[in-house]
Structure 1
Amino acid sequence: MDHPPPGTPGRLDAPAARLRALPPSCGPVRLIAVDGHAGSGKSTFAGRLAAALGGAPVVRLDDLATHEELFAWTDRVREQILAPLSGGATARYGVYDWVLRRFTREEDVAPAPVVLLEGVGSGRRALRPYLACLLWMEVPEHTSWERGRLRDGPELSAFWDGWVRAERQHFSADPSRPYADLLVRQGAEGYVVRTGPAVTA
Structure 2
Amino acid sequence: MIDSAQRRDVISRVARQIPVSDGRACTRVAVDGPDGSGKSTFADELAAATRALDHPVVRVSLDDFHNVRAVRYQRGRESPEGFWQDSFNYRRFHSDVLEPFAPGGSRRYRAAAHDLATDTMLDPEPSTALPGTVLIVDGLFLHRDEIVDAWDLSVFLDVPFSVTANRMASRDGTNPDPGHPSMRRYVEAQRIYFNACAPRQRADILIDNRDLSTPRIRRG
TM-score normalised per structure 1 = 0.76
Select 2:31's aligned residue among 16, 29, 34. Answer: 34
Name the CA distance, whole Å, in 2 between partners of 1:62 and 1:80. Answer: 14
Instruction: Show CA shifts across 1:39-80 (max 9, x none).
Output: 000011111110001162211011001343344422222122
Name the CA shift for 1:89/1:159 in 2 (closer, same or farther; >3 Å). Answer: farther
CA distance in 2, matches of 1:43, 1:179: 20
Would the alpha carbon gap of residues 16 and 105 (structure 1) be closer, same or farther in structure 2, given more than 3 Å must change?
same
3-state SS of paired residue (2:112): strand
Q: Equivalent residue for 1:94? A: 112
In the other structure, the counterpart of 1:4 is none
Partner Cα separation in structure 2 for residue 40 and residue 80 of structure 1 = 26
- Give CA deviations for 1:144-201 in whole Å, capped at 9, x if unaligned: 133113310159x9975533343333333233111111122344754333425xxxxx
1:139: Cα distance to partner? Answer: 0.6
The answer as to 2:166 corresponding to 1:140 is no
Tell me the distance in 2 between the aligned counterparts of 1:38 and 1:85: 26
Q: Is residue 48 from structure 1 mapped to residue 13 from structure 2 by the alignment?
A: no
Structure 2 letter corresponding to 1:18: Q
Query: Deviation of residue 105 (structure 1)?
Result: 5.7
Q: In the TM superposition, what is the alpha-carbon distance from 1:109 to its structure 2 partner?
A: 6.3
Q: Deviations over 1:104-152 (max 9, x none)?
A: 4637462553111110111222212221111010211332133113310
Equivalent position to 2:217, from 183, 193, 199 = 193
Q: Which of residues 203, 210, 214 in structure 2 aligns to 1:180?
A: 203
Letter in 1 for 2:142: S
Show structure 2 runs of 5+ residues with no match: 73-85
Correspondence 1:1-201 to 2 at 5 A: 9-11=6-8, 12-19=11-18, 22=19, 28-54=25-51, 56-66=57-67, 67=69, 68-69=71-72, 70-86=86-102, 87-104=105-122, 106=124, 108=127, 110=129, 112-154=132-174, 160-186=183-209, 187=211, 189-196=213-220
SS at 2:110's partner residue?
Answer: strand
Per the alignment, do residues 184 and 51 of structure 1 end up closer, same or farther by CA in structure 2, a change over 3 Å counting?
A: same
Alpha carbons of 1:38 and 1:154: their partners in 2 closer, same or farther (altered >3 Å)? closer
Residue type at the aligned position of 2:112: G
**What TM-score does the superposition give when structure 2 sets the normalisation length?**
0.70
Give the superposed CA RMSD: 2.9
Contact (CA 8 Å) 1:37, 1:139: kept in 2 or not?
A: yes
Identity value in percent:
27
**Contact 1:149-1:160 within 8 A present in 2 as well:** no
Deviation at 1:90, TM superposition (A): 1.7
Match of 1:199 in 2: none
